[in-house]
Amino acid sequence: MSANVFETSEGSAVVNEANKVSRIDGDISDEDEMQVDDDERVNQLIDDFDMDDEGSEEEESDNGQLFFSSSEDEFDEEGEPVEDDYDENYDFREALRHAGNFRMKSKGRKTAASKSYWKRKMMRSTNRELDPEVRSNLSQANEAFVRNDFQVALNLYLEVIKKDPKNFSAYKTLGEIYKQQGKLNDCCNYWLLAANIHPWDSPFWGNVAELSAELGHIDQAIYCYTRAISSDPNKNFRFVLERAILYKEKKQFGRALEGFQRVRQSYPTDAAIIKNLASVYVEQKRLNDAINLYMRILDSNITPNAQSKSKYPKFGWPELNILLELYIQQHSWRVGIKVIKIASRWIQNRTNETWWDDTDDDAEYDPKRRFQILEKISDPSKKLDAKYELPIDIRYKIGNLRLGLGQRDEAMHHFEFLLEEEEDISDLFFEAGKALEEHGYHEEALTFLTRASQSDDLNENPELVNLLGKCFLEVGDYAQAKSAYETLLHGDADNLDYKLALAEALYHLGDDARSRRLLLEVSDQSNISKESGEEKSEIKREEDNMSLIKNQKLIRSKSAKLTDQEKLEIENHAKRRVLEIYRRMERLEESTKTGDEVAVSAWMQLASQLVEMFMNVRSFFPRDKNRTFKGIVLYRRKKQMGIDEKLARVYNLYEGIVNDDNYSRQFLTSKTEYRGLNYDEWFVIFVQYAIFLSKFDHNTDSANEIVEVAMSVSVFVQHKQKEALLRILKLTFGIEKEESSTTVTTYVRYFLIANQFSPFIYKFFICCFASGIRSWETFTNYNHQKFFLRQLKAHDSILQGKKISGMATITSDLKGTTLSKEHPDLLYVYANLLGGSRSYVSSVVYLNRAYKKYDKDPMICLVLGLAHVHRSMQRLSTNRHIQLLQGISYILEYRDLREKNATVYELQEIEYNLGRLFHMLGLSSLAVFHYDKVLSYHDNISDDSAYDLSIDAAYNLTLIYNINGNSQLARMITEKFLTV
């Protein structure tokens, strides 16, 4: 019992819902039209020609019906027409020469042989005289073979072949000897040579073909079946069927379809032929044709006539199971449910029970709900004892259809019947669990996956173990998840995804050491070994080389396009993968907030996969960032990738998430989300990933690249708050890398322009530049001075109501805003820029403007006092003492203002600034007094060294003491405050 009725189901096409429902009413597919045309063509040929034995290339069946190849279906994988391979004049030597890449002999093509051709050839071969020596060796060889003396027989048969290269008996018996010795490849080769000596022996060709197929020599088996068909006077369609199956295995679906159609015309009621034909339609991505095929069978059974009984097989539960499988592959959930109700009622002889259609559920198949509804119905045609049970395969299928519609409860009603089944249905348990897991119902999925694991060998079913591991992680059973992924790694030690999942489970179980070790292995593992796959390919090539006719690889067309159904399947798979990774990231979120390095590392490994996937979407990166986002087109980047990106690409390739232009250019997703996550969630992933790269991996360059990519994403930069946050990150990374003259200056200017006249932004500007000569030079450069002067003129122009020459453009919306007469923060910044370039007179002018309105601001008083003091120390000062006195008076005013409600930090700051002032003026005694007061606050703030000025004061004191000759006191201060 299998949940999937076909061996393969690579793809399908989307079908119009209205057409699907109407098929029950008797639509005719392309295949039926082709068959009607063939019948008419055959009748015309019978009337026009004398069908004698000579010169006829048609194949005749037992009942006299002729068969022709359907030219409409005879195409290769690239869509090119192929020639029919029924060739009675095939030259075996020429085939071997062609297989060995030798030059072919040029000769004209022979005309078609008549049916008596084989008779004449067989008579000549049978009646030919043998050489006496050959006859003697052949007799001795036969005797040795009968007494099982194989070596003697082998040597004698070889002698016979040397004298008589066309001795059929020698070649055939040599094959028998090798077969009894277990050397099947040698047996097959000798039999193939023997068959070419007796080309009329169709059964023997069939035996060679069967053995070739068992040995994996597909092309050789096809050749042998073709020879068997062409030389068979009885037209044994078993050979045609077997060859069609081989064509299907070789993925030559056009020729396979032609073969199945030939056989079906002779055996139209054989359900196995229909199933093979439908499977080829599925492989050819002609899912509609496969559905139509079974719908016509259903229609012919529901409304039978004399012709349909001989043309179509009976429709039963197996056929319904296949039809539902086709609808599931096509994602036609609702149409599939309609069909199952029509078919099941007909099979159970209750087609009149139409009242069930009034409700969108499956109560008619549920014993509890069924009788509750029947009791309310007064219809006399109702039968309380009518059959309503469904085969377990059909139960699973209808549950899957309901799950596709999002009707979880209704689906679970059907899946619960699986748990009550007494037979071994482990495959259905697995499929039900897989379907539930794909839809996010992990607890329910565990019920069925656990039952499946009780019947299966977990070592032989890694997909089942992987599903169990995923579900255990989702429900928080980390011990079971650990066991599952350890089992998987035992069979696939290099699988990166398994290692990541195991690392997550170990982290939640508290095994940080092993979890960290696994994460390091994942980071270091940039290449995945493919040696095992190469070894298998080498063994396969060696087996192919043991046949006379080599298997040829079928080259698929590169221009082959994916169907809409395949596009949808790829997208749904990628969406499920994204949501699974995101849920795992959410489980680690709390631990990352506490700075747990293991959790952060695991989170980053998962985020790298999502970031890489997002970065492959071309539509997120338009040339015009202001263009409205309309959809998604995927592409592959050409830039060099780092190790994390390479790992993420490998993860996505493992999952089958491949971004292909042919498919993605036509596939648009929602404007508000991508693969299950809205764009706010994608933005948070980018930002958090960049921060973690910088903070924990200390890889600011990579973090910077991630932010640059995010700044190119249209759905991010079209949102002002997101764009501002990305620029803040760029500015932060620039400060960390001390790029004050480039990155810091560029991005802080953006915030100054975007937030014109904002007091906070002016304070923020000052904070972006650290101490030191390089930062000081950048802070006070001429460009900044010019910028702030233009802003100051713009502010004055608003107050004065007129334009001022050189003013900046007013970009802020000032409606409803009342500006003060003087802007203290703007004046303060500009004055500091002037003071930093030693333009103290100009600095004093602008600080006086601020002081007039804000004389209670301690910082304005301090900077104004320092400007006067520094001006008094310049060479061109006109009244040095008055300027110095004026400066000290402002600084004392600063002290008085700062002392009000001051904390210990502010008190220490006051003393240090006064000590530094007197130290600069050369008043050492006063400086020592204030420096000592600074040191007295050390014990109160020793726990917060970042704000403790004791070290600076102690260093300045040692300088004063050493200059004045008190080295002992200087050493004492050094040992107490400046020694680690």
pLDDT in tens, 830-853: 888 888 888 888 888 888 888 888
Confidence of residue 910 (pLDDT cuts 50, 70, 90): very high
- Taking alpha carbons only, the member of 175, 152, 161, 154 closest to residue 131 is 161
pLDDT at 928 over 90: yes
Confidence of residue 266 (pLDDT cuts 50, 70, 90): confident
State the Cα–Cα distance between residues 465 and 45, nearest whole angstrom. 61
pLDDT at 503 over 80: yes
Residue 102: per-residue pLDDT? 54
The mean pLDDT of 467-490, rounded to a whole number, is: 88
State the Cα–Cα distance between residues 123 and 410, nearest whole angstrom. 72
**Contact yes or no for 78/554 (Cβ under 8 A):** no
The mean pLDDT of 874-900, rounded to a whole number, is: 88
Residue 645: per-residue pLDDT? 53
pLDDT at 702 over 50: yes
- Cα 378 to chain centroid distance, Å, stands at 55
370 or 830, greater pLDDT: 830
- Taking alpha carbons only, the member of 165, 189, 195, 166 closest to residue 177 is 189
437 or 79, greater pLDDT: 437
Burial of 541 (0-12, 13-18, 19+ CB in 10 A): exposed
Q: Is the dihedral of CA 774, 780, 782, 788 positive or negative?
A: positive
The mean pLDDT of 955-966, rounded to a whole number, is: 92
**What does the DSSP 8-state code read for residue 856?**
T
What percent of the chain is predicted at pLDDT more than 70? 75
pLDDT at 653 over 90: no
pLDDT at 707 over 90: no
pLDDT at 951 over 80: yes
pLDDT at 963 over 80: yes
Residue 362 dihedral angles phi and psi, to the nearest 5°: -120, 40
914 or 386, greater pLDDT: 914
The encoded tokens of residue 741 equal: 């003259």
- Cα 536 to chain centroid distance, Å, stands at 26
pLDDT at 956 over 90: yes
Residue 98: per-residue pLDDT? 55
State the Cα–Cα distance between residues 747 and 729, nearest whole angstrom. 10
State the Cα–Cα distance between residues 355 and 339, nearest whole angstrom. 16
Confidence of residue 376 (pLDDT cuts 50, 70, 90): low
**Most confident among 226-235, 566-575, 676-685 (mean pLDDT):** 676-685
Residue 788 dihedral angles phi and psi, to the nearest 5°: -70, -30
Residue whose tokens read 């907030």 = 593
- Cα 568 to chain centroid distance, Å, stands at 13
**Contact yes or no for 868/849 (Cβ under 8 A):** no
The mean pLDDT of 932-953, rounded to a whole number, is: 85
Burial of 428 (0-12, 13-18, 19+ CB in 10 A): buried
Three-state secondary-structure class, residue 461: coil
The encoded tokens of residue 503 equal: 């690392």
Least confident window among 212-226, 329-343, 455-469, 849-863? 455-469
Residue 916: per-residue pLDDT? 92
The mean pLDDT of 255-265, rounded to a whole number, is: 87
**Contact yes or no for 629/715 (Cβ under 8 A):** yes
Residue 562: per-residue pLDDT? 67
pLDDT at 27 over 50: no
What superfamily in CATH does domain 457-545 come from? Tetratricopeptide repeat domain (1.25.40.10)
pLDDT at 130 over 90: no
146 or 864, greater pLDDT: 864
pLDDT at 177 over 90: no
CATH number at 765-925: 1.25.40
Residue 10: per-residue pLDDT? 35
Residue 95: per-residue pLDDT? 60
Residue 530: per-residue pLDDT? 39
The mean pLDDT of 380-396, rounded to a whole number, is: 71
The mean pLDDT of 471-479, rounded to a whole number, is: 88
In the chain, count of helices (H) and strands (E)? 47, 4
- Cα 59 to chain centroid distance, Å, stands at 50
Beta bridge pairs of residue 75: 81
Confidence of residue 959 (pLDDT cuts 50, 70, 90): very high
Confidence of residue 69 (pLDDT cuts 50, 70, 90): very low
Q: What is the pLDDT of residues 568-627, one digit of tens each?
A: 778 788 888 888 888 888 888 888 888 888 888 888 888 888 888 888 777 777 665 555
State the Cα–Cα distance between residues 162 and 155, nearest whole angstrom. 11
State the Cα–Cα distance between residues 632 and 318, nearest whole angstrom. 42
Residue 55: per-residue pLDDT? 34
Mean pLDDT across the chain, nearest whole number? 76
DSSP H/E element including 885 = helix 880-899
Residue 930: per-residue pLDDT? 93
Residue extent(s) of CATH 1.25.40.10 domains in the chain: 122-230, 457-545
What percent of the chain is predicted at pLDDT more than 90? 7
Q: What is the pLDDT of residues 131-176, one digit of tens each?
A: 777 777 777 878 888 888 888 888 888 887 888 887 888 888 888 8
Beta bridge pairs of residue 678: 673
The encoded tokens of residue 674 equal: 């991508």
> What's the distance, Cα to Cα, between the start and end of the chain in Å?
77
**Most confident among 105-109, 234-238, 545-549, 825-829 (mean pLDDT):** 825-829
pLDDT at 377 over 50: yes
Give residue 345's identity as a one-letter amino acid code.
R
Q: Is 3.30.70 the CATH classification of the domain at 1-74+237-348?
A: no
Burial of 368 (0-12, 13-18, 19+ CB in 10 A): exposed
Three-state secondary-structure class, residue 205: helix
Confidence of residue 42 (pLDDT cuts 50, 70, 90): very low
Q: Is 1.25.40.10 the CATH classification of the domain at 122-230?
A: yes
Residue 83: per-residue pLDDT? 41
Burial of 721 (0-12, 13-18, 19+ CB in 10 A): exposed
The dihedral region occupied by 848, where left means phi > 0, alpha psi between -120 and 50, and beta the remainder, is alpha
State the Cα–Cα distance between residues 415 and 395, nearest whole angstrom. 7
Least confident window among 288-302, 464-478, 537-551, 722-736? 537-551
State the Cα–Cα distance between residues 297 and 291, nearest whole angstrom. 10
